[in-house]
Amino acid sequence: MNSSNQEPWVDDVEYKRYILWFIYACIIYSVIGFSWGALMGGIAEFRYFVDHRLHGDLIVRAHTHINLLGWVEMAIFAAVYYIVPRLVQRPIYSLKLVKVHFWIHNFGLIGMVVFFTTAGVLGGLAGETGTPEEVEAIVKPILATMGIFGSLVLLANFIWAYNLFKTCSGWNKQN
């Protein structure tokens, strides 16, 4: 029995490519997140805006999501996609779902970060002259849109979980 029959994922270039794309995304998001954090901590005016303006904390949420859903989660996805097929000695259930997961997750995360940041900046600026009600009227639809993108990230995570469950289920049965 040659290695490609025993380990069908070994020769799957496209599968490897997507695992590497998760790793590349992890690296990109970590650099963005670490830089963003350094700017928030190092630039006094930025830190003041974030800490003392109405809805300025939404900028921190954008930074947090870049780090958690970008850097950390992408690293976990890559590692699990790499390890699980080797653990259960079978290929991933669906390469198509790996691809869909990657693109939906990234699209959703980028949308979340853009709309969290937009709501934080516009809310912070409007808070200088507007009433809390006026600021809320500006921020509320932006956050609703952010929630749509957050739902896409959640959907991507369900796709990931389903794909792994299907890959692992029945691992100890003879094919």
Q: What's the whole-model pTM score?
A: 0.89
**Residues composing the chain:** 175
Beta strands in 10-143 (DSSP E): none
Residue 110: closest CA among 145, 141, 75:
145
Per-position DSSP letters for 132-155, written without gaps between them: HHHHHHHHHHHHHHHHHHHHHHHH
Q: How far apart are CA 35 and CA 85, in angstroms?
A: 35
Taking only the tens of pLDDT, the chain with its 175 residues reads: 344 455 656 778 999 999 999 999 999 999 999 999 999 989 999 888 888 888 889 999 999 999 999 999 999 999 999 999 999 988 999 999 999 999 999 999 999 999 999 999 999 999 889 999 999 999 999 999 999 999 999 999 999 999 999 999 987 775 5
